[in-house]
Structure 1
């Protein structure tokens, strides 16, 4: 996420390295590169220019603190300005209605239907809401079926009227159904449309007027960069939506949409899509995103994801096993599964401060654990529970069964042994608290040296 921008900003700040103070000359050279990095990230020229002007004014208008180097001070100023540019504070979704009605809008292909399912899953699991999805896309072939598939995936009911070609009446009937059946939230998925399509824009305006949503969200593909910003502005001029949803942010190496969309439409980014899975949705935090853009990681989000997978009862059982030296490969496999539930590996590594820079040339795939899992699954139940019985002969059989080399089996055994010793040490004073804080992350990065 934003790898190209992060790398270019890092190079820009290196200009100040070794300087004892900020001067108009060296800050101008640095901010010239910052502006160039923003433009390469597809940020609007005026926004990039105004941004660097504000940073320059603040940098030259204050003394460098004794605890900060000039480069550190400039990074702090840039971060503060980035946070402000992206909205400042986190903006929540309005759930005040009974039921709360959320109207989804956006271009065709922006990921609107999939995100409707993700949002339904988020509100169901995180907010304990009874959610109804409504299929109001009466134009795209198989759109209704797609929403039903998404609804089945997340365990949420979908309301549809396949024979009805009036989006307004479908939405109104869905609201009646929701009220009669005790739904807390109704998410209305509409057809994708262009802002220049007058007939389609009139239709969504009529739907909006008829159901009076508490929240109207505009869904846009972040990878389209400045086009996403321009599209959002055109829609906002017609629909006056409440917030923006950026999808496919996990594949966006530039970041132009995330940085500049708030400044252009003056509406907050409320959610981001970070992957294909139905739980790959995050509330948008401007301060955390600024940290990630500047290569500082996002430890808070990382720990939050770990806590979502944290099971206190399982953790207690695991601690007892570790204390008795009974930690085996089945337990190790369980920890891997917990880490995999936290999201795609590249995104997780990007949340670790400094890791993104250190591993910038390393390709981290979502199936990074598949070889380790293959080796473990090739072990017998007895071998998984008592790794000490695995001798040379067994290693040869395990390697053959998993399609891997004996050397890889040896490497896994060595890493497993080292990790077991480390976890045993963590059972001592001070270690237990760290174990509890890490929750589902314990043992989660096999293969890392």
Structure 2
């Protein structure tokens, strides 16, 4: 979360850690700063009051006063109470029902319900090994049904057809009947959203809930909405027995207030967080880990999971064997490493999970520029012939000009890429079987963030 809340609380954490003695006076000063940071981040006032009261109670108790490192203890209290505000640990999705387990997706238009439905389908298929059917009950928004069809296909799930001239109730009944007859494990129902809360919307979704009797009713809310998210949450809580929350757009430059408020307002646990626009950009929400991110402590567990999921171990082992056998490292291998970086979710996604003190210098670097640089390199290599990729020594002046024209770059860019490739090639020649992890670390070490292959944080 690249937010003002994270920036302010990170600075406060550094100041608190340096405190040799904790007194009522400096606790009050610290809490005043925390309160202002939370209010500016659009955290609901009742949530702020409750949070501050809990931290103050513990900070002025024996837990801190009797500690040898009161500053660090105070930080741990703030971290713990932040996590408690958003929930306790991980709230798993409930699929304990006679198949199909019905999951109803609710929320305002623009919150990301349709994309989130597909992301959840992909998650259930890949992580829970479920057979998933999706259906759209949104008969009002143009192209909503087609959008769900497209993203469902990309997610690897099956889509149940519906048309704008049907009633949402009839669509739901037909989809449920189809899911039962074809032995689906899960039915995901994408409902209509509105630009604002209205009685028609609420009555329609109440009827759908009564018809489907879902095991999960997930409230999808945009984390960038701030105070509006709180008002929406209240209205949906009154209309539906919400069982969980999905926070979308947590990767945006949001103020972060929704993440801290929405659980307390609805009483429902946050179950998932949308962390990128890609279909695999849905994380099971862990309150403790998210609190660490807000305080600038990073989320190393999520980083390891992301890197592990993105790394093609088989391809890396083949490359290691190839280098070890002396076959050499060519531009096809170089391209594979660039594409591996993209599979991991890109630089900004990886950097977001590192502790702020490790990314302070990198913060000055334009992440967009670095990611564009990666795409440019990919384009240059893809403009080469298969022979040129295998034998880069053939690439002389006329070939360089043709490659540059094909990639839409200057010849200097081609020269720069070839120089970086030669550096990595030289590095590979020196490696005589240092193991897979050593190989992968070396692959990430080119040129740092400022140019060339970005340095991987593992």
TM-score by length of 1: 0.88
Kindly tell me: are residues 55 and 263 of structure 1, through their superposed partners in 2, closer, same or farther at Cα, counting changes over 3 Å?
same
CA shift for structure 1 position 281: 1.4
Distance 2:90 2:341 in 1: 26
Distance 1:130 1:264 in 2: 33
Kindly tell me: are residues 235 and 17 of structure 1, through their superposed partners in 2, closer, same or farther at Cα, counting changes over 3 Å?
closer
1:379-406 C-alpha deviation (Å, 9 max, x unpaired) = 4434433446656776666556544455
Counterpart in the other structure of 1:31: 31
Q: Which moved more, 1:326-335 or 1:162-171?
A: 162-171
Counterpart in the other structure of 1:334: 336
Counterpart in the other structure of 1:349: 351
1:99-123 C-alpha deviation (Å, 9 max, x unpaired) = 1110111112211112111211221
Counterpart in the other structure of 1:54: 54
> Does the aligned pair in 2 maintain the 1:306–1:439 contact within 8 Å?
no
Instruction: Choose the corresponding residue for 1:369, options 360, 367, 374.
Output: 374
> Does the aligned pair in 1 maintain the 2:108–2:197 contact within 8 Å?
no
SS at match of 2:224: helix
Counterpart in the other structure of 2:436: 432
Distance 2:201 2:407 in 1: 55
Q: Which runs of 5+ in 2 are unaligned?
A: none
Q: How does 1:167-316 map to 2 (within 5 A)?
A: 167-193=168-194, 197-316=198-317
1:397-426 C-alpha deviation (Å, 9 max, x unpaired) = 655654445554454345444545666777
CA shift for structure 1 position 274: 2.0
CA shift for structure 1 position 95: 1.4
Q: Which moved more, 1:313-322 or 1:101-110?
A: 313-322
Q: Which runs of 5+ in 1 are unaligned?
A: none
Q: Which moved more, 1:14-23 or 1:348-357?
A: 14-23
Q: How does 1:6-45 map to 2 (within 5 A)?
A: 6-16=6-16, 18-45=18-45
Distance 1:342 1:288 in 2: 19
Distance 1:286 1:274 in 2: 14
SS at match of 1:161: coil
- What count of residue pairs does the alignment treat as equivalent? 445
Distance 1:424 1:230 in 2: 61
Kindly tell me: are residues 397 and 138 of structure 1, through their superposed partners in 2, closer, same or farther at Cα, counting changes over 3 Å?
closer
Q: Which moved more, 1:51-60 or 1:419-428?
A: 419-428
CA shift for structure 1 position 336: 1.8
> Does the aligned pair in 1 maintain the 2:316–2:436 contact within 8 Å?
no
SS at match of 1:21: coil
CA shift for structure 1 position 59: 2.7
1:302-332 C-alpha deviation (Å, 9 max, x unpaired) = 2212222333332221111222352222112
SS at match of 2:126: helix
Counterpart in the other structure of 2:81: 81
Distance 1:434 1:167 in 2: 56
CA shift for structure 1 position 368: 4.3
Q: How does 1:98-109 map to 2 (within 5 A)?
A: 98-109=99-110
Question: Does 1:358 find its partner at 2:338?
Answer: no
Distance 1:239 1:195 in 2: 16
1:37-71 C-alpha deviation (Å, 9 max, x unpaired) = 111111122322332332233233224755x4x44
Distance 1:76 1:187 in 2: 39
Kindly tell me: are residues 196 and 395 of structure 1, through their superposed partners in 2, closer, same or farther at Cα, counting changes over 3 Å?
closer
Q: Which moved more, 1:164-173 or 1:292-301?
A: 164-173
Distance 1:82 1:421 in 2: 49
TM-score by length of 2: 0.87
Computed over aligned residues only, the root mean square deviation of the Cα atoms, in angstroms, reads 3.0
> Does the aligned pair in 1 maintain the 2:134–2:152 contact within 8 Å?
yes
Distance 2:299 2:384 in 1: 37
> Does the aligned pair in 2 maintain the 1:297–1:353 contact within 8 Å?
yes
